[in-house]
Chains A and B, each alone.
Chain A
Amino acid sequence: MWASIRALSPALSFLGILALFGGTAAAEQFSADIVTTNAGDRMAGAAGKLYVRDSLVRFETPDFRNGRFLVNVSADTAFFVMPAQDIYMDAKESSSLTQILVPVDPDDPCQAWQTMAKIAGAAGHGSKWHCRRLGTDNIDGRQVIEYQATSPAGSAITATIDPLLKFPIRFQYQDGTKVELVDIREQPQPAALFQMPAGSRKFDPQQLIERIKRSDVWVEPPK
């Protein structure tokens, strides 16, 4: 998968330098597979799919077979979409990937992650993402930047940012779970991939909770 990227490396390196100094968080257009492995480096389920078009991100993972996530960094939105039900909902913290798999400034990924944490409601009480640059590395001939980062909830990850893509291509949790983008294909992505299906309506979990409070499922705490 990296062969095609290596062939383009001189031009990409130049663009990468521009990106490194440019500091904007609008990624290139590409698609990739999302592979999650556990601490034993065993693949945890089937691969997911990622599509990126500038500030738009779409991904699908085996944990959410009935839908897909649509993130629009420019619009400060992250939705989970269930096309079969014609509904969508705020993604909030449904998947931690919506907070990490977004275009980033390679020199300051925490800025974008903090924005996404706020959108997800995961940055309460002024808590913030913290990033510490560890250095650069070379993965399959590709220059990348390594970070140690801590989420507002205190979860630590090591993240690998591709400055050309302006996108995290690998990160690992403390428990050893690793999420990696593989088979990256840099090519234009159709705008339709990132659009909300026509006729979709928004689902409100608060409304669901209020309904359930009218049922026997709900048990009031003892007086």
Chain B
Amino acid sequence: MQSKAARWGKWLLTTAICTSMLNSVGFVQAAGFDGSPPNKDAAAAFATESPIKHVIILIDENRGLDHTFGVYKPKGRGQTISNILSKGIVNEDGSPGRNYGLAAQYAVSPQPTYYVGAPDSAKTPYSLANLMPQPNTNGAPQNPYSSIVNAAGTNYNTGPFTTIPPEPDIQPKYAALLTTGATGLPADSLDTRIPRAGALPNGPFVLKGPNISDDDYTGDMTHRFYQAWQQQDCSIADATKDNPTGCLLDLFPFVMATYSPPNFATLTGNFSEGNEMGFYDAEQEQASLLKELADRFTLSDNYHQAFLGGTGANHFMFGTGDAGFWSDGNGNPVTPPSNIANPNPKAGTINAYIADNNFSACSDPTQPGVAPIVDYLASLPYHPASNCAAGHYYMLDNTNPGYLPNGSLVPAVQGALPPSPVKTIGDALDAKKISWAYFGGSYNDAVILANEAVAANPSNPSLTMAALNDPAHALGVTYCQICNPFQYAASIMGVPSERTAHIQDTSDLIADIQNDTLPAVSIGKPDGLLDGHPQSSKLDLFEAYVENVLATLEKNPRLKATTAVFITWDEAGGYWDSGFVQIFDYFGDGTRLPLLVLSPYSAGGKIDHAYADHVSLLKFIERNWHLPPLTNRSRDNLPNPKATRRNPYVPTNMPALTDLFEAFNFDSRPDLRPYLQ
């Protein structure tokens, strides 16, 4: 049998992409053998474990696996998927299936303190007599040009845009998507576009009908740390061989309806209610671009959000393999001045949190909310550590970074996380002089707004005020600061040369692909209009962002030949999912997310079952570019999972986390099929 390198070499010498492929086995040359222009691709010179010389990681917002690919049938030969269709929970048309009851959701009677595993005796399934909380429009845009004034006098004025914003990160043919999809319904009301809304049975429902599609805005849900723990409903008493963590995933609508109950008289509280159970039907024309990519490349059906809850903590975990904590700005943990969580119920309520705040000192079991989680961790057969260091108040929910987009320090009055000392993958790549960049949508405009905001009011700069004064750069408000894990890092954001070298705009990603200057590691984050987030964006807008990147890469076949594109989501946004969840520490994991792996070595419609989360992307980078784990406490220290053929989803060596190499077949002949037909 020929060696791997010999087989590559035989094929490579006969193809037009031979130069870049030879780079992958250690050769670098100035010009192609076939007379093609010299390869300017500096990242191709880095020694790598695989033929992959570049990764582009595109991160969407707030969609789960069953929500997006729940109704999907793999196209690869012999491939299987674990989703609500394969489990018989729903049928291919989205209607309830023979096993619909597996997805049943429950209400819980009042408990004296916060809990993460509700006592069975306290749980009652929703029924036609006690309806599951029903889907709600929440703050989704009502009508174009509308100015919605609700009963409390709040002016929502949420569009969508009849005037298209100056959005440069999608192709012009898709710009009209920014103007479509209004609900036509009042804010905070029953979403009657959904068939049978108001009488939906206890379980998932399809977001498909005469009045709703994947081009429509839908109501958002709360997606926060302590709520997400409760929603997963984990107890060792419910553990089985196939579900050894005992997470039943059956309190999703209940927690939304009770942690801050909606009050229609005062329009306060949380109105997201039953949106958690909505899903799209990929087999019937919904999420069509994502489905086509899954048909043609690799899709993971066992990839998870790494942190329970929301955007900031999940991106932070992606960048560091760890959680952020409140510090004095010089790396020393201190107690935050406010914003400390207390999820214990208020007296006389079902489950209304006393203080729905962002930080906990989880090494101290006497702190509110901590004991139920650490007790549960201790009960698991593999005894995961909490990974909560003494005296550290961890950032559990969205908190702005301590730097503005231009690198200015955020004044303490704004409550941002002080500059973080937690080591990032950027620091590790820098140490080995391997190129990398974070490409944030609308970042360049955000820098301009930050400059103007600081100049106007250094003691309390406001990017939104700057946007109103500078409409030509207003799109800067759509740049997501909490999505950029490097914007928290003192070692990067606090060093101007590092910041300008590594923190860039989507337009720079496109230019780098066009100019053969793409870094080895690129992270792409769409702006807030295109990130696919429910209520403020749509799935098809994220698809348009993805298509813009892929179409550009398609035009550079030499670069494409050595590039892996990972497409995933930061978290499920509160959407329910049916998949097994492995628990690593105090912070996660959470529900499954889609992960698409596009490369010449991951074509063919494979479904990857190995257990993964965001830190798996770190592990891929570290293995491919020969980097050690970031720190001795980061989650990238975990081994790759071992699993049985009978159940490939549950590692037999928990805690374990894949480095995603199994998503590829590097022994295969590269398949340079187009990303899209």
Contact = CB atoms under 8 A, between A and B. Distances in A.
A85 interface: yes
B472 A89 contact: yes
Most buried by B among A80, A89, A217, A219: A217
A92 B158 contact: no
A210 B156 contact: yes
A85 B471 contact: no
Given A64-B472, A66-B166, A66-B168, A207 B478 contact: no
B528 A217 contact: yes
Contact of B162 (A67, A92, A201, A215): A201
Contacts of B483: 216-217
B479 interface: yes
B563 interface: no
A181 B473 CA distance: 25
A95 B311 CA distance: 34
Contacts of A205: 467-468, 471, 474, 477
A207 B220 CA distance: 18
Interface string B315-350: 000000000000000000000001100000000000
A209 B467 contact: yes
Contacts of B464: 209
Interface string A197-214: 000011111111111101
A221 interface: yes
Nearest to B162: A201
Contacts of B160: 211
A161 B591 CA distance: 66
A121 B452 CA distance: 14
A222 B338 contact: yes
Contact of B472 (A94, A219, A223): A94
B61 A206 contact: no
A94 B159 contact: no
B166 A223 contact: no
Interface string B373-390: 000000000000000000
Contact of B166 (A87, A204, A211, A219): A87
Interface string A17-38: 0000000000000000000000
Given A85-B166, A217-B528, A222-B415, A211 B536 contact: yes
Contacts of B310: 216
Most buried by A among B162, B467, B468, B471: B471
Interface in B53-75: 61-62
B153 interface: no
B620 to A, nearest CB: 25
A212 B156 contact: no
Contacts of A204: 163
B469 interface: yes
A64 B220 CA distance: 35
Contacts of A212: 477-478, 528-529, 536
Given A216-B310, A222-B338, A208 B474 contact: yes
A108 interface: no
Given A90-B471, A91-B472, A212-B477, A207 B159 contact: yes
Contacts of B528: 211-212, 215-218
A137 interface: no
Contacts of B133: none
Contacts of A8: none
A217 B471 contact: no
Contacts of A216: 61-62, 310-312, 398, 480, 482-483, 528, 531, 533, 570
A214 B481 CA distance: 15
A183 interface: no
A86 B527 CA distance: 21
Interface string A85-110: 11101111111000000000000000
B139 interface: yes
A76 B162 CA distance: 25
Nearest to B442: A217
A73 interface: no
Contact of A206 (B157, B400, B452, B473): B157
Interface of A: 64, 66-67, 80, 82, 84-87, 89-95, 121-122, 201-212, 214-219, 221-223
Given A92-B468, A93-B452, A203-B165, 14 more contacts: A93-B470, A201-B164, A203-B166, A205-B467, A206-B468, A207-B163, A208-B165, A211-B159, A212-B477, A212-B478, A214-B220, A215-B535, A217-B527, A219-B481
28 contacts: A67-B472, A85-B164, A87-B164, A90-B471, A92-B471, A201-B162, A205-B474, A207-B157, A208-B161, A208-B467, A211-B158, A211-B160, A211-B536, A214-B158, A214-B535, A215-B531, A215-B533, A216-B310, A216-B480, A216-B483, A217-B477, A217-B478, A217-B479, A218-B528, A219-B400, A219-B482, A221-B415, A222-B399
